[in-house]
Structure 1
Amino acid sequence: MTTSVDPITQARIHLAAAYRMAALHELDEGIDNHFTMVVPGREDRFLIMPFGCHWSEARASELLVFDEQGVTHEGDGVVEISAQCIHAPIHRITGAKVVLHTHQTWATALNMLQDNRLQPASQTAALVSTQIAYDDDYTGTASNPAEGERLAALARDKPIVFMKNHGVLAIGDTVAAAYRRLYRVERVCRMQMLALATGRPLAVLSDEMVRQVQTPGQDDRHPRAERERLFFEAMMRVLDRELPGYAE
């Protein structure tokens, strides 16, 4: 699908696709929140969609290139201030190639609760629950790089951050890895909130069972990276039918 293009073009296509997927999957807030990716071959410049565009309008050729100081090096448009302050420090400190931040409905709903821990009460939740770092101190809107530095220190080796009273972050080495995490988090948060709405207790899996679920079997034909790639390529095929134009 995108194997014959150069790395920067492919990065642009994948990030634009992720924006449109988020709109299709109702993970967006219209023009707000932000996805970023390190420009291949650089460590100090990042791709982002111009602020003011709806996520369903994302196009590879229209993504901006900016740096941590907020300077736009390529493209026309404005980088939203909280994207600069949150994402750039996280990229720099954690080494993450991709950082996705949303206020998606079900994950944010869970993070509105006093007890916002994701419980391993389903197979998918068991796969995700130990990958989460929790930010229990809402500090307001981000207008200073110190906020991104704080979140990076909190995340440490966890690829997902639950932000109390705020939303969620997902990071990864590829757009496919980060987006699959964001997608799965929303599903398991929805499952937990719906289960809690019954007023009945959750049947939480034991630590031993969680470890067993997370351990790949010897007959597993698809390693994690392969599953991430297949997932993302399948979602791009859906976009080609439902929201074409992201690769332009």
Structure 2
Amino acid sequence: MTLHSLHSATHVDPATQARVHLAAALRMAVLHELDEGIDNHFTVEAPGHPGQYLVLPFGLHWSEARASDLMVFDETGRTVEGHGVVELSAQCIHAPLHRITGARVVLHTHQPWALALNMLKDNRLLPATQTAAFFHGRIAYDDTYTGLAATMQEGERLAALMGDKTILFMKNHGVVSTGRTVAEAYRRLYKLERACRTQVLAMSTGQPLNILSEEIVERVLT
């Protein structure tokens, strides 16, 4: 099959496509060193089934992810399709984020460079590079770490903070990237890690950062 025919195919079942894309994103996260073993979560709203979400069962390493491994759960944590365990924090963080923000895809990681920035008192991502400027005005910040997310109220709190933003910085914890598609959300997650890495590396020199002007940032955003 050629690349053109792959992208132009119209017979692919949306549910199958969602599974394939989510499994691919999980494996890519390992390749790009965004994963943390069997922890963290990527979820996709099951096509045609609002309130139901695809997720990798807890215990499988992301490098093992296959489309057929993914299970479907609802907001109560009940397994709708497949087998395995849904980690409590996956239910408590992701279900409210999907429901309240309307995001089709929610990706949550503890990726190292973004987390390094979120360990700082001032964890703001600064528009000092073209890549960082891409996120200007699109990041929500949670400056209050409350411990492990074990209640739906915690997910609702995070969703309220996120509002209409596509990225959530969680101080002392990690990040969330959302999108309409797996590709869109993953691209944001990958670019975010690159932007955080360059900022942390530049800050390590002890020299002041050269922040882009608002005019230049607006050009990048448009």
| TM-score interval (norm. to shorter) | over 0.9
Distance in 2, matches of 1:173 and 1:55, equals 22
Asked if 1:170 corresponds to 2:177, the answer is yes
Asked if 1:130 corresponds to 2:109, the answer is no
Distance in 1, matches of 2:175 and 2:140, equals 10
Asked if 1:28 corresponds to 2:35, the answer is yes
> Which string of whole-angstrom CA distances, capped at 9 and with x for unpartnered residues, describes residues 50-99 of structure 1?
00000000000110000000100111110000000000011111110000
Which residue, 7, 10, 15 being the options, matches 1:8?
Answer: 15
Match of 2:218 in 1: 211
Match of 2:152 in 1: 145
Matched letter for residue 213 of structure 2: S
Match of 2:201 in 1: 194
Matched letter for residue 35 of structure 1: F
What is the root-mean-square deviation in Å for CA atoms of aligned residues? Answer: 0.8
Which residue, 101, 105, 111 being the options, matches 1:98?
Answer: 105
Distance in 1, matches of 2:138 and 2:100, equals 18
**Percent of aligned pairs with the same amino acid:** 68
> Which string of whole-angstrom CA distances, capped at 9 and with x for unpartnered residues, describes residues 13-51 of structure 1?
000101000011000001000000000001110000000
Matched letter for residue 160 of structure 2: A
SS of match in other structure, 2:209: coil
Distance in 2, matches of 1:10 and 1:61, equals 11
SS of match in other structure, 2:86: coil
Which residue, 98, 111, 132 being the options, matches 2:118?
Answer: 111
Distance in 2, matches of 1:129 and 1:110, equals 16
Q: What are the ranges of 5 or more consecutive residues in structure 2 without an aligned counterpart? A: 1-5
Asked if 1:85 corresponds to 2:96, the answer is no
Matched letter for residue 120 of structure 1: P
Distance in 1, matches of 2:40 and 2:145, equals 16
Match of 2:63 in 1: 56
Shift in Å at residue 129 of structure 1?
2.6
Q: What are the ranges of 5 or more consecutive residues in structure 1 without an aligned counterpart? A: 216-248
Distance in 2, matches of 1:152 and 1:10, equals 27
Distance in 2, matches of 1:32 and 1:62, equals 16
Normalization by structure 2: what TM-score? Answer: 0.95
Which residue, 6, 19, 24 being the options, matches 1:17?
Answer: 24
Normalization by structure 1: what TM-score? Answer: 0.85
Distance in 1, matches of 2:213 and 2:17, equals 41
Matched letter for residue 191 of structure 2: R
Distance in 2, matches of 1:28 and 1:15, equals 14
Report how many residues are paired.
215
Shift in Å at residue 162 of structure 1?
0.4
Matched letter for residue 55 of structure 1: W
SS of match in other structure, 1:130: coil
SS of match in other structure, 1:129: coil
- Runs of 4+ aligned residues of structure 1 deviating over 6 Å after TM superposition are none
